[in-house]
Amino acid sequence: MAKLAYLLALAHASLVYGHPAARDVKPEAKVLHGREITISSSLEITTSYSSVLLSSLQSATATVSPSITATFLTGLPSGGFTRDPMPTVSISDVGSLAPIDSTLAPGTTTPAGTASANVFVPMVTDTPPQQITSRDDHAVKKLNIIDQDVPIETNKFYANFFLGSQTSSVWTLPYSLAWAKGHGNSYGIAVTHTERSQLAWGEGDVPRYFIGPIGLQHIVFSAAELGEQTALSTEKLTAFSVFANLSPFRGAEPIMSLPCVQGMGFVTALYNGAKPLLTSGTFFRTLKYVDQLNGITYKYQIQLEDDSQWLLYATPVASLGAPPFELQDSATIVGPEGFIGMIQVAKNPSNTTGEATYDSTAGAYAVNATMSGSVDGSAGSYTLTWGKEGVQNQTLLMFALPHHVESFDQETAAALTDIELVTTVKGYAKAVVADKITMVENDLPDTIGFAPWIRASNGGNGGSSNDLLNTEALAAVNSAGALELAQDFDQQTRLDSMYYSGKGLAKFAGIIYTLQTMAKNTELAAAGLVKLKDAFNVFVNNTQPLPLVYDTVWKGVVSSGTYKTGDTGVDFGNTLYNDHHFHYGYFVWTAAVIGHLDPTWLEAGDNKAWVNTLVRDFANPSTSDPYFPFQRSFDWYAGHSWAKGLFESGDGKDQESSSEDTFSTYALKMWGKISGDANMEARGNLQLAVQARSVNNYFLLASDNKVQPERFLPNKVTGILFENKVDHTTYFGANPEYIQGIHMIPLAPSSSYTRPRKFVQEEWDAYFSNGRAENVTGGWKGILFANLALIDPTTSYNFFADPNFDSTVLDGGASRTWYLAYAAAMQGTGTTAPGEAVVANDAVVANDAVVANDAGDQDAEVSDGENYSDVEYRSSDDEGYDDDDIYSDVEVRSSDE
């Protein structure tokens, strides 16, 4: 499809100063550019609008009541988690695995190296491994997408524009847009902003859900030329933006296009020789022409019958004067014939002085965004820079979400205004006047490794790993590990589900790491690693029951399940790009463990290339990769991932498990560390910090949460978070342990970073204290008691150490071995064998630890509270202390302190 003439004209309009008295003077020719390519053009002045408007203030009387009715989708849509995340594979005890006469030599866990100045750089751009065959017959066809043969974002906010009926809403925040397609007798794009007073709530003092209305039409951008044959197409689909085009009929050139960008301050419609029609289901009360603002843009004020105030800005191209807009009736505003130019609308919230701010930014609009970020140890920052078109002399007005505002750098904070508009599920968005925003994170999880991680006790930033176990825990872990590694790996991992298979592999990887590093049982760990490599190799060779395929339509690696069965829901919808970060994150973390325990594995065969292919599918850091889109799952504007792929959804994208989201990022961080990709490790640390912030604003509801509505906070978690709805439930049931527990799994070293003690305590008290957790059955019971280790590791440990422990309370992705070790380590005490002392927790050695080679005396005991200088400490791999180094003036304290 040819580039639009009006886009060539509007994309880069020069600022031209003019005065009403000089409207008969022809301005200088403008330099005009197309999107992303430079094309020069000059447009002759074809129209001079009269300087005398029909009226400075036009009023309309509604003869019928405005349409304020809307739809509330209280049910759950198809295409989400439709099954319990607990695999149903039966696990039988077959005795204990025997150690083998071999030891492991794990590689270093020091940082992978120095990251680039911008960590968003390409990984690799080669083809996926050849054992992953290609297919071009995906179940979901591209619907009116102009871009061809390029990676297409499948999980972004605008997907409803090209899925199903194409009429479901798209949330740019704080506005939503929807193709009317006849609704309200219009075929244009409806603009809506919902106030909290318009939300629908579930019953009771603590409602199960709150939902924004669907179908309201505050202002609809349309044209007289659009009717029943109107076609909607999309173009320039990026991670943060899309162009939505309307044509009079399919195959015709678009006459109207809307650049849709997350956080856009104005909704902008670009017209190409059409007669604008603005309609409203809420009804227009008044329309008032105000003035010319910047020599090229003309301002109007609109009041709707719901008393909301809106601003309209028209910037004509190839014409002179204020384009006339006539309030034809309470539902319709008619613009001039053959209009070439842009029309922008914005809601002006009451009780603000923001109108002057809107005026100063009108005429400019965002078309896309680019991502950059830098990391230095525990500090990092990331910047969203918007591509700007329209009147270039104007600075953009954009909206930032609460998690952005919390972490603004000084320059961005200075650009904040007093304009704020509420969103449905992410609190109040605040307007900034800036062409870019930068957020700073000063508590990156760079000290988190494979071992249990404990936050700094003083409540400050940072924390430390602890892989020390006391004598009792050592015995319990070794016993449980031998039993669990004797299980049939193949039975639990070679499944017709990437999700369940990944969970099984990660379970065994966790056991093997625990035995090697925490229990110091390298011969048993070596025996388990042999089995794990064989199980993982099934997937590298792509010989699992439902092999992966490379989809050349949307460009990604997907399960062959839907191709084989025709069922789009197979494996939670993996073939349609659902949940890829959940599914593939388990494989990536497992690979990190294998590569750590046996560094030679990384360079063997296709191991590294295969894992990197999964990473590129859901977390590709580059827009230049021809095989995968940029960051398919994670939304760098929203601050978290979206699980829903190519399924139309009336309430937009959704995510059900904030903890599996953060785990997938933790997996990226660890794979980057082990595979030697410093940029991936740095990105993982930065992304995990952003997630910790956003998850605790939007998903985890501590009593002091200021973002979500106060009456909803007692639910403690959102449940499923959509773009337009929060529903305290799951796709597979409404038991409290399901709803709360799915935001706990899996228990990982990063859990104590993303799930604060305050929140965990409040959640436990609200739902599971006083014996209620004891009444839960199945794998969810184990999840609850494992999560308890974040606040009460002793009770957690005792639960799993019980001689009468019932293994049926373990999720198929969890092990008793890891839970025992994790809870024991979180207690902060432990011992280690002579000659292998570890300096843990910021050079604090736990009670009863033994310091090797103390002034030449092997096995010297450490007394509580004494200071030791010139003491040699031999470190574990996770602590970053090199063997044979001398550490002077190290204070050695008892764990009791």
| pLDDT digits 0-9 by tens, 257-286 | 999 999 999 999 999 999 999 999 999 999
Q: Look at residue 63 in the predicted model and tell me its pLDDT.
A: 65
Q: Enter the pTM of the model.
A: 0.89
Q: Which domain holds residue 720?
A: 444-827
The pLDDT value given to residue 691: 98
Token pair for 503: 């969970």
Phi, psi (rounded to 5 degrees) for 233:
-125, 160
CATH, residue 477: 1.50.10
User: Does pLDDT of 891 surpass 50?
Assistant: no
Which single residue is written with the structure tokens 């304009």? 419
Q: What is the pLDDT of residue 858?
A: 36
Range name among 29-38, 326-335, 336-345, 463-472 with the lowest pLDDT average: 29-38
Write out the DSSP string of 810-843. Answer: S-TT--HHHHHHHHHHHTT--B--TT----BTTT
Handedness of CA 549, 552, 553, 556 (dihedral sign): positive
896 within domain boundaries: no
Question: Is 710 tagged catalytic?
Answer: no
Residue-level pLDDT at 892: 34
Q: Which of 536, 534, 512, 533 is nearest to 523 (CA)?
A: 512
β-bridge partners, 332: 279, 329
Whether 624 is covered by a domain: the verdict is yes
pLDDT of residue 53: 56
Last residue of a domain, one of 827, 851, 873: 827
* Residue 38 tokens, joined: 């430079």
Residue 364 lies inside a defined structural domain of this protein: yes
CA distance 230 to 211: 30
Question: 739: part of which helix (H) or strand (E)?
Answer: helix 736-741
Residue 69 lies in a domain: no
Do 377 and 689 contact (CB within 8 A), yes or no?
no
DSSP 474-500: HHHHHHHHHHHHTS-HHHHHSSS-HHH
Q: Is the pLDDT of residue 31 over 60?
A: no
CATH number of domain containing 353 = 2.70.98.30
Q: How many angstroms separate the Cα of 128 from the Cα of each of 136, 255, 573, 609, 748?
A: 15, 40, 21, 8, 29
Helix (H) / strand (E) containing 559: strand 556-559
Catalytic, out of 441, 467, 656, 763: 656
* 269 and 316 fall within a common domain: yes
Mean pLDDT of 535-541: 98
Do 467 and 402 share a structural domain?
no
Q: How confident is the model at residue 28 (pLDDT cuts 50, 70, 90)?
A: very low
pLDDT above 90 for 352: no
Look at residue 800 and tell me if it is in a domain. yes
Per DSSP, the three-state class of 98 is: coil
48-57, 434-443, 500-509, 647-656: the lowest-pLDDT one:
48-57
Sequence-separated (6 or more) residues with CB below 8 Å from residue 566: 139
Strand partners, 397: 433
Task: Tokens 């993996």: give the residue.
Answer: 574
DSSP, residue by residue, 646-679 = S---TT--EES-HHHHHHHHHHHHHHHHHHT-HH
| Structure-model confidence comparison of residues 69 and 136, the more confident one | 136
Q: What is the pLDDT of residue 67?
A: 58
326 shares a domain with 459 = no
Using left for φ > 0, alpha for ψ between -120 and 50, and beta otherwise, residue 864 falls in: beta
645 and 786 assigned to the same domain = yes
Assess whether 326 and 201 both reside in one domain.
yes
537 and 413 within one domain: no
398 shares a domain with 306: yes
Q: Are residues 392 and 523 in the same domain?
A: no
Domains: count for the chain: 2
Residue 96 counted as domain residue: no
| Dist CA 757 CA 792 (whole Å) | 10
Q: 390 and 465 share a domain? A: no
Question: Which of 441, 469, 489 is the last residue before a domain boundary?
Answer: 441
- The answer to whether 877 is a known catalytic residue is no
| Lowest mean pLDDT segment, chosen from 5-14, 751-760, 784-793 | 5-14
- 890: which strand partners? 868
879 is catalytic: no
Q: Are 719 and 80 in contact (CB under 8 A)?
A: no
What was the pLDDT predicted at 156? Answer: 98
Percent with pLDDT over 90 in the chain = 79
**Final residue in a domain of this structure, among 441, 461, 490:** 441
Amino acid 310: pLDDT: 97
CA distance 767 to 755: 16
Does residue 73 lie in a domain region?
A: no
Q: Which of 420, 579, 677, 879 is catalytic?
A: 579
Q: Is the pLDDT of residue 1 over 70?
A: no
pLDDT tens track for 794-838: 999 999 999 999 999 999 999 999 999 999 999 985 543 333 333
Same domain (yes/no): 524, 409: no
- State residue 836's pLDDT score: 33
Co-location of 398 and 523 in the same domain: no
Are residues 381 and 464 part of one domain? no
**Residue 559 exposure: Cα atoms within 13 Å on the Cβ side:** 31
Q: Is the pLDDT of residue 347 over 80?
A: yes
User: Is residue 74 one of the residues assigned to a domain?
Assistant: no
Amino acid at 613: T
CB atoms under 10 Å from CB of 866, counted, come to 10
Query: For 279-288, 491-500, 867-876, which range has the lowest pLDDT when averaged over its residues?
Result: 867-876
